[in-house]
Structure 1
Amino acid sequence: MSIWWSLHLRREAASVPLARRLLLGTMETAGVDPDVSYDLSVALSEACANAVEHGGDGVHGDASEAYRVTAYLDGEMCRIEVADSGPGFASDSPCPARADAEHGRGLCLIRELADHVHIGDRPSPGGAVVSFDKTLKWQEGAPLVAV
């Protein structure tokens, strides 16, 4: 069995905990190990916060006021994608030199919490995409585990 959902969210700070709670609720209901769920929820929060802060440029009209979150739980893998209509990334952003930096640690944190991370630009209509996946661990008796 697999689960997927997609949200179209306004670029407002209140959207970040909404996406996080939906992901956590989905994974809890499916029976995903709480530690894996927590790691993915923190990574999702960082990606959403980045979209809220940097995800619009005013060029794309109303589209710049929103971003999209898509999550797939399929078999042993969870893949999450956060896409916005902002200016995109100039390059694959390196981690800041200082651990106490005020900004710029979110993408580094996502890289630490997920198994595979892709950070890039959307070809059309433009914007940034952060996608990441993680191998799932299941609680005993989890309803989504293949028999």
Structure 2
Amino acid sequence: MSIWWSLHLRREAASVPLARRLLLGAMETAGVDPDVSYDLSVALTEACANAVEHGGGADARGASAGYRVTAFLDGEKCRIEVADSGPGFVPRRGSPCGHTAPSTAESGRGLCLIEQLADHVHVRSRPGRGAVVSFDKILKWREGALLGVS
């Protein structure tokens, strides 16, 4: 058995905790180790916050463009993808952590934090069409978990 879900969210700050709570609830119900759940929820929060802040302007009706969050949990890992329709960006060469923001900066550490919390991170920018941040983490399970590997 596995769990898969996808959300299309408005680029509003209130959407970030919604995505985080859905992920935490799914992992709690499935029986994922709380430390792994916490790491993934923080990484998701950072990816969603980036989509909200940088994910694009208004659509043809003048409404804020949205973003998409997709998560898949199976017996071995969780994969999360956050995709926006913004202008994209020029990814840094190598690791996002290779060039961190100054300690006084209020932003600029999200991708580095995601890389530190996940086992594998992939960032794809599509200039003029948005960005996609996907990350995987090997799961640990509580005793008697619904989805855990037997």
TM superposition score normalised by structure 1? 0.90
Give the structure 2 partner of residue 111 of structure 1: 115
Asked whether the equivalents of residues 91 and 125 of structure 2 are also in contact (C-alpha less than 8 Å), the reply is no
Cα root mean square deviation, aligned:
1.9
Structure 1 residue 89, shift from structure 2 partner: 1.9
Counterparts of 2:107 and 2:28 in 1: how far apart (Å)?
Answer: 31
Distance 1:96 1:111 in 2: 12
Distance 1:95 1:85 in 2: 25
Contact 1:55–1:64 (CA under 8 A) maintained in structure 2: no
Distance 1:104 1:9 in 2: 22
Q: Secondary structure at the match of 1:26?
A: helix
Rounded to whole Å, the distance in 1 between the matches of 2:32 and 2:49 is 24
Equivalences for residues 1-147 of structure 1 within 5 A: 1-58=1-58, 61=60, 65-92=65-92, 93=96, 94-122=98-126, 126-147=129-150
Query: Among the aligned pairs, what percent are the same residue?
Result: 76
Give the C-alpha shift of residue 97 in structure 1. 4.6
Segments of 5+ residues of structure 2 without an aligned counterpart are none
Preserved CA contact (<8 Å) 1:57 1:64: yes
1:104 Cα deviation (Å)?
0.4
Q: 1:142, CA displacement in angstroms?
A: 0.2
TM-score using structure 2 length: 0.89
Q: How many residue pairs were aligned?
A: 145
Q: Structure 1, unaligned stretches of length 5 or more?
A: none
Q: Which contiguous aligned blocks of 4+ residues in structure 1 show a shift greater than 6 angstroms?
A: none
Q: Deviations over 1:2-31 (max 9, x none)?
A: 110000000000000000000000000000
